[in-house]
Copies of this chain bind each other. A is one copy, B any other.
Amino acid sequence: MIPVKSYAALSKSTELEPFAFERRAVGEMDVLIDILYCGVCHSDIHMARSEWGPALYPLVPGHEIVGRVAEVGAGVTKFKVGDFAGVGVFVDSCRTCDCCKTDLEQYCENGMTGTYNGYERDGKTVAYGGYSSRIVVNEHYTLRVPFTSNLEAVAPLLCAGITTWSPLRYAGVGKGHKVAVLGLGGLGHMAVKFAASFGAEVTMLSTSPSKEADAKKLGAQHFILSTDEAAMKAAANSFDYILNTVAAPHDMNKFLNLLKVNGTMLLVGIPPEDSRISAAKLISKRRSIMGSMIGGIKETQEMLDYCAEHHIVSDIELIAMKDINAAYERVIKSDVKYRFVIDMSTL
């Protein structure tokens, strides 16, 4: 057993505080990672506070993990001690269903094993996340991190990055496409970077005029204030894709209107309530809405390799572990550009 330091939510209403536990011993196919950095995802807050169903306390959040391999099991071939490694939103899956066999582990028919807030596949070992000093993960579910610097800004690629990469790639977004990104947060800022990198003409849609300059710095060519009715009307029927990152309630029909014939809204945000969709808006222009959730291991590796080659990382604010509760409050207010990352040396 491997002793680990961490921060944890001990109950629904508490702030995160120091917590110590033991990781499982390193098995034949496992790697032990000394965690260097862990990103702060909005879902960490939802789960720590039992907002997405009852949480399993004590709960150690964190699924945007970058670290260095400290030990490998006897059967491990993908890593050696000293390699940089990453862990994302899940650490296991059934490995036998059609999804697992086709590199879509995130859609595992028997349910993926989340990086935290649940049990590993033995049904009894608690899965604790990345706000901690070390983690033990099967090598298949561990990513190679082909970066040598700026590792803190790599961490958010493991969730915010892959969540936007996957639908853009699945849709085949590239040169000649007009892509709008709805919402400029952790996900949205990665979506702008990726869509621009793939050669698309990118427009930021936002309710906040202050986002225009930021979006353009990230690679957007255009900006539309979504509260400006005239601008929205002028943009009707103009986009091939809208990547919708908004998790707050919003009027989707207003944005569906901006899609061309055959256009698709790629949905990655989950509003707290059902969205109202006009069938006529879809039917009148053969428009689609497609959901997408993170990405499989193979695809996540492709993204990391691409990002290393194209020098793409997240824009982050590095924080000390002790500042996590203040960071949570700022995430809730969308007061971060664009992801907090915890420097685990401060633990």
Contacts and interface: CB of A to CB of B under 8 A. Distances in A.
Contact of A277 (B277, B280, B285, B293): B277
Interface string A80-119: 0000000000000000001100001001010000000000
Interface stretch (A63-71, A128-136, A262-270): A262-270
A289 interface: yes
Interface string A260-291: 01001001111100111111111111111111
A50 interface: no
A253 interface: yes
Copies in the complex: 2
Contact of A275 (B264, B270, B277, B285): B277
Contacts of A253: 274
B291 A267 contact: no
A291 B288 CA distance: 6
Given A99-B261, A261-B99, A261-B104, A283 B292 contact: yes
Interface of A: 98-99, 104, 107, 109, 170, 237, 253, 261, 264, 267-271, 274-293
6 tightest Cβ-Cβ pairs between the two chains A and B: A282-B291, A283-B291, A274-B276, A288-B290, A107-B261, A270-B279
